[in-house]
């Protein structure tokens, strides 16, 4: 395990060596996601200044949900971006086979091969949104809260990665996994806003089937003192369950790949 | 104990048969029909430590499928593969530690990284001890002339430089078995020579077993003492290279463009005219009987030659010959 | 609902037939686009319903108007995207500018035609989604042919305006190697200031003025305003004239800027 951590560190260093060669591009890439967020946030601000609350959620409460989702998404964006490109960049070209003749886990190699700096913009933006909204809402920056947020963001990131991994495995059957991954990934749009504004069926979908709700809504509910029961403590458990399922599915896909080739 | 042991290896793929047109598309969606495509058909062979074996066949013969099974990428349909006494698929990681693979045109190094950085990352992946890494680095820098390449990223390297870099990266963890797929393709003669020398030297000093798949007969001749030929998934020849050269690869052709129409031309024995046109004449000769320069000299003494070209023996035709020959031998026995 | 279904049955049948015939050729990409668009439409509808929970109008718009507006904007979203900057970047990297410029037809006119043809195909592909939005999400389209006429003319004018602006913007590719960041800014600005995410009328005055001084609104918000009841037929001549002026100014500017950029590359070497 420590070996993999150390190895990842080396992959990361090499990746940064490449990125630092084009410093302007690094800066632009990192801030590009932040700029995209700015448009959405401006829209939310425009809308919410006209109304007292969104289904009982004030402007800063909405921002808290949005910020938590953005932070969770940034994790997969930074560390698992290759799950999007596994088809056209690795399997189709045959480069994936290289991973199979190296003495390390192919999934690890796939993910370590590309740290995506674009996600940094999202992480920072999200953190700023969370920090600002907590301050405006008088939520204490206690140790408990900070720990809770860190664990929630990490769990959220793992949930994002798990869902992307499950859909990325389709590459072993259909050679191009982006459309499938896109279809599931887009569901996270729901979790940008409080789940309470949606029909109950959507809430169920986002809680138990495609659990993006645990990235933003339930942690936000905890921080805001809104009662949703035990769900506020379940993010890490959901993350673990889903990543376990995702990894088994991935292994199943690998087995299929090694019997059918490409 | 053989280092590679293959017995009755079979690989069959299920390929979907699609009929054209709308009706065909509908059928394909609801009632898919699959056909069996046999890529590897009952191949058996064993390779000992330190051998350099050529594994050749035309495209589609089943070479890359076999290699994929040897390297653990693909699972056989039936039969067994043992490399270093392991099943390369079941014990993927352990096997991967001791093999090296060169996939022809595709590099294992990172496109944008300086070569030395790529190399150090590979070394970390294979857990090459730091001291050993330094030693090997110096050795390879020497024998492959890599010193000026260390700071160059792969994307900026020429084909020859890329291959030298690739070999260093493949051997940096001192694998006991190396699979080389088209290692000299596209390279000029001088670079090819260097690469072949390097492979021979590694084989000599480290007893590295080499499985070489290539279309380049020069590679085969210089490197391999033994050749395995497969065609349509079946093994049709497994033996010393001398026999092939003697029996099948001995003919070559030179085509001369002449300034005037040649009249009668005297050719030394072993050479015969196979094409005579107003300003072109093609001569086929037995390489074991006479050299190309011998033929050219003889001809140029008799007519004025504007240009000439030498054709390599055609691997496909050699294989066909062998196949037919093998059939004939079977019938005779 | 049922009555309107009977009335438009022939349209429905045509769409269904088309969908059936092409269903087998529809690949995953199209399905993915469908799912993504439908999900975002669901999100929008619920979001705006929650927004309007305590009030019946906002900035003079009723919920039904806003929903129509937003759904239309989402369905027409490809109309504010642009690939011109990538195309320029690609061309430059491949060193193909000289080739492109020596072709018989005017480059700008040719690329515009190609671009519009692609958009048309993409929109036709989205017709089933329009149907779904109309049946299930509350998309309400006017029945007055005059309004539709005003919409179409305004749409064409506005799209040309945007194309010309993007032509100018894409010239930055001649000066900057990394076009990704630029396109991100363009996408963000485009989607916000075209009114695709929020109706422009809801923005504070200073922001609205900024939006109207940019070309993005002309390509989306302005035409769509006819269909969502924000603009009337009487407004049409004035609106068309404004768009026409935009068009002429940008036509001249874009060609000048392009000429300068090309000269820079061919003189200095690309």
Interval B224-235: pLDDT, tens: 989 998 888 999
Is B280 found in the same domain as B227? no
CB pairs under 8 A between B and C: 6
Is B173 found in the same domain as B67? yes
Interval A194-246: pLDDT, tens: 999 999 999 999 999 999 999 999 999 999 999 888 899 999 999 999 999 99
Question: Taking the CA of residue A75 as centre, how many other CA atoms within 13 Å lie in the half-sphere pointing to its CB?
Answer: 22
The answer to whether residue B44 sits within a structural domain is no
Q: What is the mean pLDDT of residues C151-178?
A: 87
**A115 DSSP 8-state letter:** -
Following DSSP, what letter does each residue of B12-58 receive, concatenated?
EEEEEE--SHHHHHHHHHHS-EEEEEEEEEEEEEEE-TT-EEEEE--
Is B266 found in the same domain as B231? no
Instruction: Say whether A97 and B110 touch across the interface (CB within 8 A).
Output: no
| Identity of the highest mean pLDDT range in A2-11, A80-89, A155-164 | A155-164
Return the pLDDT at C244: 93
Average pLDDT, chain A: 92
Whole-angstrom distance, CA of residue C154 vs CA of residue A130: 42
Between C53, C180, C191, which is nearest A55 by CB? C53
Burial of C221: CB neighbours in 10 Å, binned 0-12, 13-18, 19+? buried
Residues of C in contact with A31 (CB under 8 A): 181
With an 8 Å Cβ cutoff, is A227 touching chain B?
Answer: no
How distant, in Å, are the alpha carbons of A136, C75, C85, C167, C181 from that of C118?
Answer: 47, 15, 16, 17, 24
Is B257 found in the same domain as B214? no
* Location of structure tokens 């030297």: B201
Cα of A183 to nearest chain C Cα, Å:
5
- Looking up residue B297, the CATH number of its domain turns out to be 3.30.70
* Helices marked H in C102-235: 107-125, 127-132, 145-170, 179-193, 205-212, 216-219, 221-227
Taking CA–CA distances from B25, the nearest residue in chain C reads C24
Look at residue A157 and tell me whether its pLDDT is greater than 90: yes
Neighbours of B300 (CB within 10 A): 14
Residues of C in contact with B26 (CB under 8 A): 24
Domain containing A118 equals: 2-260
Interval A11-25: pLDDT, tens: 999 999 888 887 777
| Contact present, B193 and B154 (Cβ < 8 Å) | no
Is B260 found in the same domain as B225? no
Instruction: Say whether A258 and B99 touch across the interface (CB within 8 A).
Output: no
Whole-angstrom distance, CA of residue C230 vs CA of residue C221: 10
User: For residue B98, how far is the Cα from the chain centroid?
Assistant: 21
| Contact present, B283 and B273 (Cβ < 8 Å) | yes
Is B128 found in the same domain as B65? yes
Per residue in B32-59, is it b (16+ CB within 10 Å) or e — as a string? eeeeeebbbbebebebeeebbbbbbbbe
The answer to whether residue B190 sits within a structural domain is yes
The structural domain count of chain C equals 1
Whole-angstrom distance, CA of residue B119 vs CA of residue B135: 13
Residues of A in contact with B101 (CB under 8 A): 98, 101
Is the sign of the CA dihedral B223, B229, B231, B234 positive or negative? Answer: negative
The answer to whether residue B41 sits within a structural domain is no
With an 8 Å Cβ cutoff, is A11 touching chain B?
Answer: yes
Is B190 found in the same domain as B207? yes
The structural domain count of chain A equals 1
Burial of A155: CB neighbours in 10 Å, binned 0-12, 13-18, 19+? buried
Parallel, antiparallel, or unpaired: how do β-strands C57-58 and C61-62 relate?
antiparallel
Using only the alpha carbons of chain B, give its radius of gyration: 24
| Contact present, B181 and B101 (Cβ < 8 Å) | yes
The answer to whether residue B73 sits within a structural domain is yes
Return the pLDDT at A132: 96
For B295, list phi and psi in degrees, rounded to 5. -65, -50
Look at residue C42 and tell me whether its pLDDT is greater than 90: yes
Domain containing B192 equals: 50-78+86-246
Domain containing C169 equals: 2-268
Q: Token digits for C184? A: 């991100």
Is B202 found in the same domain as B275? no
Look at residue A151 and tell me whether its pLDDT is greater than 70: yes
Q: Which of B198, B214, B246 is the last residue of a domain?
A: B246
Interval A96-136: pLDDT, tens: 999 999 999 999 999 999 999 888 989 999 999 999 999 99
Q: Which of B193, B228, B246 is the last residue of a domain?
A: B246
Name the nearest CA neighbour of A44 among C47, C184, C46.
Answer: C47
Instruction: Say whether C25 and B25 touch across the interface (CB within 8 A).
Output: yes
Instruction: Say whether A104 and B72 touch across the interface (CB within 8 A).
Output: no
Is B165 found in the same domain as B290? no
The answer to whether residue B232 sits within a structural domain is yes
The structural domain count of chain B equals 2
pTM for the model stands at 0.83
Name the nearest CA neighbour of B40 among B7, B76, B10, B68.
Answer: B10
Q: What is the mean pLDDT of residues C116-136?
A: 86
Return the pLDDT at C113: 84
Name the nearest CA neighbour of C187 among C72, C116, C86.
Answer: C86
ipTM of the modeled complex: 0.88
Is B128 found in the same domain as B271? no
Q: Token digits for A238? A: 């959901």
Whole-angstrom distance, CA of residue B316 vs CA of residue C111: 48
Long-range contacts of C93-102 (CB under 8 A, 24+ apart): C95/C270, C97/C262, C97/C265, C97/C266, C97/C270, C98/C266, C101/C262
Is B56 found in the same domain as B122? yes
With an 8 Å Cβ cutoff, is A7 touching chain B?
Answer: yes
| Contact present, C96 and C197 (Cβ < 8 Å) | no
Interval C191-249: pLDDT, tens: 899 888 889 989 999 999 999 999 999 988 999 989 888 888 888 999 999 999 999 99
CB pairs under 8 A between A and C: 100
Is B151 found in the same domain as B231? yes
Whole-angstrom distance, CA of residue A164 vs CA of residue B137: 40
Q: When comparing pLDDT for B82 and C101, which is higher?
A: B82
Long-range contacts of A20-26 (CB under 8 A, 24+ apart): A21/B112, A22/C178, A24/C178, A25/C177, A25/C178, A25/C180, A25/C181, A26/A117
Name the nearest CA neighbour of B11 among B62, B86, B72.
Answer: B62
Burial of C31: CB neighbours in 10 Å, binned 0-12, 13-18, 19+? middle
Return the pLDDT at A262: 61
| Model confidence band, residue B29 (pLDDT cutoffs 50, 70, 90) | low
- Looking up residue B91, the CATH number of its domain turns out to be 3.40.50.300
3-state secondary structure of B132: helix
Look at residue B94 and tell me whether its pLDDT is greater than 50: yes
Taking CA–CA distances from B179, the nearest residue in chain A reads A101
| Identity of the highest mean pLDDT range in A31-35, A42-46, B98-102 | B98-102
Taking CA–CA distances from B14, the nearest residue in chain A reads A260
Between A52, A174, A190, which is nearest C54 by CB? A52
3-state secondary structure of B228: strand
């Amino acid at each position: 395990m420590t070996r993999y951590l150390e190895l990842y560190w080396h992959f990361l260093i090499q990746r940064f060596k490449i990125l630092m060669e084009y410093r302007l591009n690094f800066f632009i890439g990192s801030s590009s996601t932040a700029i995209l967020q700015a448009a959405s946030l401006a829209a939310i601000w425009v809308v919410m200044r006209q109304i007292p609350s969104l289904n009982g959620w004030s402007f800063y409460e909405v921002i808290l949900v949005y910020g938590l989702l953005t932070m969770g998404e940034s994790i997969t964006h930074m560390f698992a971006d290759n799950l999007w490109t596994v088809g056209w960049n690795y399997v189709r070209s045959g480069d994936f086979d290289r991973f199979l003749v190296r003495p390390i886990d192919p999934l690890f190699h796939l993910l370590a091969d590309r740290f995506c700096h674009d996600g940094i913009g999202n992480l920072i933006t999200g953190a700023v949104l969370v920090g600002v909204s907590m301050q405006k809402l008088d939520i204490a920056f206690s140790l408990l809260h900070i720990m809770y947020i860190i664990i929630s963001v990490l769990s959220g990131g793992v949930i994002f990665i798990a869902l992307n991994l499950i859909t990325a495995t389709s590459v072993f059957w259909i050679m191009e996994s982006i459309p499938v991954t896109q279809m599931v990934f887009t569901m996270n749009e729901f979790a940008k806003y409080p789940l309470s504004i949606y029909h109950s069926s959507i809430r169920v979908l986002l809680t138990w089937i495609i659990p993006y709700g645990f990235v933003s809504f339930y942690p936000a509910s905890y921080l805001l003192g809104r009662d949703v029961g035990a769900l506020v403590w379940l993010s890490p458990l959901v993350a673990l369950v889903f990543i376990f399922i995702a990894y088994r599915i991935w292994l199943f896909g690998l087995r299929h790949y090694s019997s059918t080739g490409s | 104990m053989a280092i590679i042991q293959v017995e009755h290896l079979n690989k069959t793929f299920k390929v979907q048969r699609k009929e054209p047109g709308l009706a065909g598309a509908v059928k394909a969606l609801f009632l898919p029909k699959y056909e069996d495509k046999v890529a590897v058909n009952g191949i058996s062979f064993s390779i000992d430590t330190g051998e350099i074996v050529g594994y050749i066949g035309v495209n589609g013969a089943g070479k890359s499928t076999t290699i994929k099974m040897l390297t653990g990428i693909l699972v056989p349909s039936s039969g067994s593969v043992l490399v270093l006494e392991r099943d390369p698929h079941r014990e993927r990681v352990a096997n991967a530690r001791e093999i090296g693979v060169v996939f022809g045109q595709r590099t294992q190094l990172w496109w944008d990284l300086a070569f030395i950085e790529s190399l150090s990352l590979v070394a970390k992946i294979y857990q090459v001890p730091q001291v050993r890494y330094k030693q090997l680095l110096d050795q390879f820098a020497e024998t492959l002339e890599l010193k000026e390449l260390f700071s160059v990223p792969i994307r900026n390297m020429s084909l020859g430089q890329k291959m030298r870099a690739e070999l260093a990266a493949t051997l940096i963890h001192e694998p006991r078995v190396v699979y080389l797929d088209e290692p000299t393709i596209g390279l000029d003669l001088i670079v090819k020579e260097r690469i072949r020398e390097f492979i021979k030297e590694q084989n000599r000093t480290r007893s590295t077993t080499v499985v070489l798949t290539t279309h380049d007969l020069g590679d085969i001749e210089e490197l391999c003492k033994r050749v395995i030929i497969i065609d349509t998934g079946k093994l049709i020849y497994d033996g010393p290279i001398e026999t092939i050269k003697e029996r099948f690869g001995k003919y070559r052709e030179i085509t001369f463009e002449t300034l005037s129409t040649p009249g009668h031309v005297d050719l030394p024995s072993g050479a015969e005219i196979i094409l005579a046109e107003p300003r072109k004449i093609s001569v086929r000769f037995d390489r074991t009987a006479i050299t190309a320069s011998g033929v050219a000299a003889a001809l140029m003494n008799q007519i004025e030659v504007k240009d000439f070209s030498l054709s390599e023996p055609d691997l496909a035709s050699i294989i066909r010959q062998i196949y037919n020959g093998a059939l004939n031998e079977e019938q005779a026995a | 609902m049922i009555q309107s279904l009977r009335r438009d049955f022939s349209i429905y049948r045509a769409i269904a037939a088309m969908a059936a015939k092409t269903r087998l050729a529809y690949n995953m990409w199209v399905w993915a686009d469908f799912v993504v668009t439908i999900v975002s439409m669901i999100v929008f509808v619920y979001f705006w319903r929650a927004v309007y929970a305590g009030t019946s109008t906002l900035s003079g718009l009723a919920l039904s108007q806003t929903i129509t507006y937003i759904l239309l904007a989402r369905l027409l979203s490809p109309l504010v995207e642009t690939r011109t900057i990538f195309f320029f970047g690609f061309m430059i990297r491949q060193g193909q500018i000289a080739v492109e410029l020596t072709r018989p037809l005017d480059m700008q006119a040719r690329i515009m035609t190609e671009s519009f043809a692609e958009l048309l195909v993409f929109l036709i592909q989205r017709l089933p989604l329009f149907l779904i939005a109309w049946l299930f999400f509350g998309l309400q389209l006017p029945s007055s042919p005059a309004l539709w006429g005003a919409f179409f003319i305004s749409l064409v004018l506005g799209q040309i305006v945007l194309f010309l602006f993007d032509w100018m913007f894409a010239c930055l590719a001649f000066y900057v190697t990394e076009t990704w960041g630029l396109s991100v800014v363009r996408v963000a600005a485009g989607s916000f200031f075209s009114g695709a995410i929020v109706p422009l009328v809801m923005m504070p005055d200073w922001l609205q003025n900024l939006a109207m001084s940019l070309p993005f609104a002309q390509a989306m918000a302005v035409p769509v305003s006819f269909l969502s009841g924000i603009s009337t037929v009487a407004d049409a001549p004035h609106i068309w004239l404004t768009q026409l002026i935009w068009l002429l100014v940008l036509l001249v500017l874009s060609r000048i800027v392009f000429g300068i950029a090309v000269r820079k590359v061919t003189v200095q070497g690309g």
